[in-house]
């Protein structure tokens, strides 16, 4: 089985002690490549450092909607420079809207989101979107702001079927996390995820968060190796062969991020 963890945060401090072991376990589970999503300036640099010493690790730069309050033009310029100077940077994000916890005011989140889409367009990078409880604003901005050929993934999809269809119509990919495997929390997601066309699917851990089942019973911290559980559950729901599905999703991810991992 060949897997690509399309979204993780292995630059998080919880991996400071054992990242080499985490990467070895990922390889053993069939995870050939990973994308480290960006959330702020500091972690973007840390991600680039990790990519310099681990093969097939790609990174993104971006300001998470939670941190939108610190998203000035100087920060965007700094991230743009980092992206241009480092070949491992293959996406912009995560960026978007999160009205669930409102760590940054709505106006700041929306301004930060638009500014980052403009930066990604300028650098011709695909986007990694984070959307939670935005009450339609995310889609409105997405639709009204920018070119139609923009590429990207709505990561950790948690919206309605109607929203999913709208994102697909705009040409975006959908990222599925371990929530799919969680009994109550994943119930609705399990009803809509099988409707996503195979060629628009991505799988992810969002590690260290959202540990899937069955690992959830044993490990608090998620890690890229566990993306295999997401793939297996997805194949089960789609009633399809896991190896074939994993190959298709791997291909989708490589194409979206424009990467060719080494064997
Ligand atoms: Zn996110
Ligand atoms: Zn994330």
Span from the CA of 93 to the centroid of ligand 1 (angstroms): 9
243, two tokens: 């190896």
State how far the Cα of 116 lies from the Cα of 122, in Å rounded to an integer. 10
Where does residue 184 rank: exposed (0-12), middle (13-18), buried (19+ CB within 10 A)? exposed
pLDDT of residue 101: 87
State how far the Cα of 114 lies from the Cα of 186, in Å rounded to an integer. 30
Could you list the beta-strand ranges (E) of 57-126: 57-61, 89-98
Listed residue (116, 44, 109) closest to 73, CA to CA: 116
Could you report the per-residue pLDDT of 45-84, keeping only the tens digit for each?
999 999 999 999 999 999 999 999 888 899 999 999 999 9
Give Cα separations from 113 to 82, 95, 142, 175, 226 (angstroms).
Answer: 19, 6, 9, 19, 30
Span from the CA of 6 to the centroid of ligand 1 (angstroms): 12
For the chain, give the mean pLDDT. 96
55, two tokens: 């093969």
Q: Determine contact, residues 199/171, Cβ cutoff 8 Å.
A: no
List the shell of residues around ion ligand 1, using CB closer than 5 Å. 94, 130
pLDDT of residue 70: 85
pLDDT of residue 120: 96
Q: Determine contact, residues 157/164, Cβ cutoff 8 Å.
A: yes
Query: Domains of the chain: which residue ranges?
Result: 3-257
List the shell of residues around ion ligand 2, using CB closer than 5 Å. 37, 206
Task: Read off the pLDDT of each residue in 95-107 and give the average, rounded to a whole number.
Answer: 94
Could you report the per-residue pLDDT of 178-235, keeping only the tens digit for each?
999 999 999 999 999 999 999 999 999 999 999 999 999 999 999 999 999 999 999 9
pLDDT of residue 149: 86
Span from the CA of 205 to the centroid of ligand 2 (angstroms): 9
Parallel, antiparallel or unpaired: strands 57-61 and 127-132: unpaired
Could you report the per-residue pLDDT of 110-125, keeping only the tens digit for each?
999 999 999 999 999 9
The pTM (predicted TM-score) of the whole model is 0.97
143, two tokens: 């639709």
- Fold type of domain 3-257: TIM Barrel (3.20.20)
Span from the CA of 207 to the centroid of ligand 2 (angstroms): 8
Give Cα separations from 149 to 10, 12, 14 (angstroms).
Answer: 30, 32, 37
């Amino acid at each position: 089985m060949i897997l690509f963890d399309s979204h993780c945060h292995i630059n998080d401090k919880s991996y400071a002690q054992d990242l080499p072991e985490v990467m070895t376990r990922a390889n053993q589970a069939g995870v050939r490549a990973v994308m480290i999503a960006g959330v702020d300036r500091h972690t973007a640099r840390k991600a680039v450092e990790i990519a310099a010493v681990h093969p097939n690790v790609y990174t993104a730069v971006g300001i998470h909607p939670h941190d939108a309050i610190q998203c000035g033009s100087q920060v965007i310029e700094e991230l743009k420079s980092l992206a241009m100077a480092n070949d491992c940077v293959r996406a912009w994000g995560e960026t978007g809207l999160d009205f669930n916890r409102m760590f940054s005011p709505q106006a700041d989140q929306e301004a930060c989101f638009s500014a980052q889409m403009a930066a990604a367009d300028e650098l011709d990078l695909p986007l990694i979107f984070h959307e939670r409880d935005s009450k339609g604003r995310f889609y409105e901005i997405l639709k009204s702001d920018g070119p139609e050929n923009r590429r990207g993934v709505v990561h950790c999809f948690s919206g309605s079927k109607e929203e999913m269809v709208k994102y697909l119509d705009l040409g975006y990919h959908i990222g599925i996390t371990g929530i799919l495997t969680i009994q109550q929390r994943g119930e609705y997601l399990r009803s809509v995820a099988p409707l996503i066309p195979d060629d628009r699917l991505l799988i992810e851990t969002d590690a260290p968060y959202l540990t899937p089942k069955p690992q959830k019973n044993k490990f608090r911290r998620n890690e890229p190796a566990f993306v295999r559980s997401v793939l297996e559950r997805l194949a089960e729901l789609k009633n399809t062969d896991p190896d074939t599905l994993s190959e298709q999703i791997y291909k989708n991810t490589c194409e979206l991020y424009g990467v060719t991992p080494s064997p």
